[in-house]
Structure 1
Amino acid sequence: MKWMEITIHSTQEAVEPISAILHDEGASGVVIEDPAELSKERENVYGEIYSLNPADYPKEGVLIKAYLPANNLFQQALHVIKNKINTLREYDIDIGHNIINVNEVHEEEWANAWKKYYHPVKISEKITIVPTWEEYEPISDDEIMIELDPGMAFGTGTHPTTVLCIQALEKVVKQEDHVIDVGTGSGVLSIASAKLGAGHVDAYDLDEVSVNSALMNVKLNKVDEIVTVKQNNLLDNVVGQVDIIVANILAEIILLFIDAAANNLKKGGLFITSGIIKNKKDIVLEEIKKAGFDIIETKQLDDWVVIVGRFV
């Protein structure tokens, strides 16, 4: 079978929204080629550093690659993708060069090639993300493994925003906490919450493909008795108060439901948000404070920020 490889030269800020656009138009996964990976300091435990070839990366900006079937619907999908990416400017998202190239490839050329970028990664004190095709043995008794297949849905679990959210969850989740994961994607934050001891997790996503993928990952990690995955728009029609709400979504979307998050949290409950590029940190902080939250932590990784607020 033939496939069309779409390569978009953009910015780190635009990685998540463009990836979501590609996912919406039928891409089952994306490859991110960010030159920052070449100089990033990390533990030399799994050997992943040696698989990074500088020739695969642009000198500036970020390359985002996705694959769609080479059929009579491709040109229409490409047109929609281009229009949606251009629309991101309306949300003050820097899309950089926005150069889009298309190349025809055979299935055997791409189906497994992207896997060289994805290896077991320890992203917090306890949690290690492990791709389903890799064999991995925990190196400590309290290590928590989360198995993911990033080909199923947007979200490998290793993006800085996800890492920041999981590190925050690891600090605050208590036994039997009730957690809501808004915009669950691959389900990784819900799975992490459950494995950290939460008593119940509600995972919401508007996209049906993400819902199905999260369900598969939840079952794969054997936390389906704790995590309930549902199709829902943000916190619309959600009744009751919970202990923690976590959301790894773009800053523009976070701003839409901060008040709803306050309504759905118990007094003293925590709101953990990431997906926030650093130049939009102050805007989100201001609105979270206005909604009645005390800021108990902000942390930055690369150009991304997580904010943890306590509802008072």
Structure 2
Amino acid sequence: MTGRSTLYFVVQFIVAVNAFKAPTLGSPQGLRFNALTRFSSKSHDSALETEATLRSITFCNLPKEDDPDLLCDFLMEIGACSTAITDADRGTDMEQPVFSEPGADPWQDRLQWTAPVWNRCNVTAHFPASAQIGGVLEMVAETFPNQYPDLQDFVLETLPNRDWVVHVQKGWLPIVVNDKFVLRFPWHKHSDVQKVAWNLNSNDFFELELQGGIAFGTGEHPTTQLCLAWVDQVITDKLEQSNGKIHLLDYGSGSGVLGMAACILAPHQVAAIGIDIDSLLLKAHKSAREHVAEQEGDHSANLDSLFLPSDLEETKYDVCVANILAAPLVTLAPVLYSMLLPGAVLGMSGILPDQGDMVVEAYTKAGFASMTIQKEQGNWLLVTGNKPIM
């Protein structure tokens, strides 16, 4: 396939909702990190010897009425490197899934609104090994004598001295999607890719390199995989119908993997719309490295390479993929309808099983046709449809 693909990065500064994936069952909620850490009165040499080692204290079984989020804030203020809230009942019959999404109406029962934390929480704080944990306990008790009257249920641990970056990277393996794409990270070697793609012909799959960490995830979420497989199938179908360049809209682009995949499959013009400037700049840099032009003749990765939605008002799209969440998707139904050509196809994910009918109804009312819950993976749905040809 010859031709040139163009990938536009569009920053949406003002939106009605701010989309993010809800935490998976039992995952940490409300992680915080401190750039500056206060050391105790121990000698400077002692601090240097232990600066790579951390000690953690976990306050266990705090009722949500005691506002564990406030305790996290206070622990950060007195020198914690990081804090986290987790479900105290994780792994038991009392384990409580908590899902949340921007734009959710607490009184709209179909979105199944719940409290933002679990009924019983564990609060974990990490401190430098030189910190006096006894002093931490005293400060919490003195500052909150009524809110946290009994903090006797706690666990102390020492985290080993290790290269945490390398340790975390070892847990991120390349991911094979739809037997055609291998999602990898910059530190992965060719041998790492071969371990997961051993049964694939090297001429039959594409490698997509992500920069996980600062602005988006790893690409392993079921919604990403659902949308990537859908984009692959749609591009194949479109190419059989037309030899022209396809205009694809990736609304809520996250890592940009969907837009980059479309550009690699065939010559396309792709607009990737997001609200996170860090994410967009990383994608622009990555597209330049992958030889996918951000703009015709421009391979820079800076703020000048980003567009505003108003810059693309005249453009209409043949394909739209939107991997966000149910509430934002419902809000965006008329917006997406206005951005598509007659006959354009639409694929959406970030939708839970009990939200599928609501999304189908909203998009049908907006004018879309053939709205269908097409597939489910990992408790997430893929919903598809098209804009009718008048």
**What is the alpha-carbon distance in structure 2 between the residues aligned to residue 86 and residue 266 of structure 1?**
33
- Could you say which structure has the greater relative contact order, defined with CA pairs below 8 angstroms and 6 or more residues apart? 2
Amino acid at match of 1:283: M
Structure 2 equivalent of residue 268 of structure 1: 343
Q: Which runs of 4+ in 1 moved over 4 A?
A: 64-67, 72-79, 85-96, 105-109, 225-229
**What is the alpha-carbon distance in structure 2 between the residues aligned to residue 264 and residue 251 of structure 1?**
19
RMSD: 3.6
Structure 2 equivalent of residue 149 of structure 1: 211
- The structure 1 residue matched to 2:224, chosen from 162, 167, 186, is 162
Structure 2 equivalent of residue 46 of structure 1: none
Query: Which is higher, the Rg of structure 1 or of structure 2?
Result: 2
Distance apart, 1:236 and its partner CA: 9.8
**What is the alpha-carbon distance in structure 2 between the residues aligned to residue 66 and residue 308 of structure 1?**
34
**What is the alpha-carbon distance in structure 2 between the residues aligned to residue 186 and residue 226 of structure 1?**
18
Q: Which runs of 5+ in 1 are unaligned?
A: 1-13, 19-33, 35-59
Amino acid at match of 2:165: A
Deviations 1:270-300 (Å, cap 9, x if unpaired)?
A: 1111111222111111111112222255211
Residue 289 of structure 2 is aligned to residue 220 of structure 1: yes
- The structure 1 residue matched to 2:332, chosen from 257, 263, 270, is 257
Structure 2 equivalent of residue 302 of structure 1: 378
Instruction: Tell me, yes or no, if the aligned pair for 2:375 and 2:383 is still in contact at 8 Å.
Output: yes
Deviations 1:40-80 (Å, cap 9, x if unpaired)?
A: xxxxxxxxxxxxxxxxxxxx62335856234279949979x
Deviations 1:108-156 (Å, cap 9, x if unpaired)?
A: 5532322232111111131111122112356311211101121232121
Deviations 1:3-57 (Å, cap 9, x if unpaired)?
A: xxxxxxxxxxx98146xxxxxxxxxxxxxxx6xxxxxxxxxxxxxxxxxxxxxxx
- Tell me the TM-score normalised to structure 1 length: 0.69
- The structure 2 residue matched to 1:104, chosen from 127, 147, 153, is 127
Instruction: Tell me, yes or no, if the aligned pair for 2:374 and 2:383 is still in contact at 8 Å.
Output: yes
CA spacing shift, 1:61–1:257, aligned 2, 3 Å: same
Q: Which runs of 5+ in 2 are unaligned?
A: 1-18, 39-71, 78-83, 86-98, 107-111, 129-158, 240-244, 299-304
Which residues in structure 2 correspond to 1:69-218 (within 5 Å)?
Answer: 69-71=34-36, 75=73, 92-94=112-114, 95=116, 97=118, 99=121, 100-104=123-127, 109-135=163-189, 136-137=193-194, 139-140=200-201, 141-173=203-235, 174-175=238-239, 176-218=245-287
Total equivalences in the alignment: 255
- Tell me the TM-score normalised to structure 2 length: 0.56
Structure 2 equivalent of residue 44 of structure 1: none
Instruction: Tell me, yes or no, if the aligned pair for 2:22 and 2:101 is still in contact at 8 Å.
Output: no
Instruction: Tell me, yes or no, if the aligned pair for 1:187 and 1:218 is still in contact at 8 Å.
Output: no
**What is the alpha-carbon distance in structure 2 between the residues aligned to residue 65 and residue 115 of structure 1?**
22
Distance apart, 1:237 and its partner CA: 7.0
**What is the alpha-carbon distance in structure 2 between the residues aligned to residue 212 and residue 242 of structure 1?**
23
**What is the alpha-carbon distance in structure 1 between the residues aligned to residue 227 and residue 312 of structure 2?**
24
CA spacing shift, 1:251–1:126, aligned 2, 3 Å: same
Distance apart, 1:258 and its partner CA: 0.9
Structure 2 equivalent of residue 16 of structure 1: 21
**What is the alpha-carbon distance in structure 1 between the residues aligned to residue 257 and residue 26 of structure 2?**
27
